[in-house]
């Protein structure tokens, strides 16, 4: 519950403050958001399975975002940034949908 309250407070502050994103960071933001969503959905799944650990979640959240950004950055360096961005999105999307399917099975008991 504390995490949800923190998320709501963060969203409200961001909407009121409207921070500008540096131009060099803009290509990485969508990848970072999808990586963070993967960690959040995984945390939800582990919570339903009663295996949630806040330490594992924190490490997963940060490492997913950092690793995804590094992969895209390396792709930019070697000239294949958009292809690696697509690959990262596909892999994270598969993980998100796999976790969502598990959540659906647990919630609906199907």
The pLDDT, as a whole number, for residue 59 is: 92
The pLDDT, as a whole number, for residue 10 is: 87
Is residue 102 situated within a structural domain?
Answer: yes
Indicate the number of domains in the chain.
1
The domain in which residue 89 lies consists of: 23-108
The pLDDT, as a whole number, for residue 105 is: 92
Is residue 7 situated within a structural domain?
Answer: no
The pLDDT, as a whole number, for residue 46 is: 93
Is residue 15 situated within a structural domain?
Answer: no
The b-or-e profile of 7-46 (16+ CB within 10 A means b, else e) is: eeeeeeeeeeeeeeeeeeeebbeebbebbbbbbbbbbbbb
CA distance linking residue 66 with residue 36, whole number of Å: 10
Is residue 71 situated within a structural domain?
Answer: yes
Is residue 88 situated within a structural domain?
Answer: yes
The pLDDT, as a whole number, for residue 90 is: 92
Q: Walk along the chain (110 residues) and give the pLDDT tens digit of each residue.
A: 677 788 789 889 989 998 888 998 888 888 988 998 999 999 999 999 999 998 998 998 899 899 988 988 998 899 887 888 888 899 999 999 999 999 999 999 87
């Amino acid at each position: 519950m504390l995490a949800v309250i923190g998320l709501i407070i963060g969203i409200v502050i961001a909407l009121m403050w409207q921070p500008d994103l540096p131009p060099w960071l803009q290509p990485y933001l969508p990848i970072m958001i999808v990586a963070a969503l993967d960690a959040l959905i995984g945390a939800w799944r582990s919570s339903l399975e009663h295996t949630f650990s806040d330490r594992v979640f924190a490490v997963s959240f940060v490492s997913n975002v950092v690793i995804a950004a590094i992969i895209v950055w390396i792709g930019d360096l070697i000239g294949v940034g958009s292809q690696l961005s697509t690959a990262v999105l596909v892999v994270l999307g598969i993980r998100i949908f796999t976790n969502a399917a598990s959540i659906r099975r647990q919630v609906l008991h199907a």
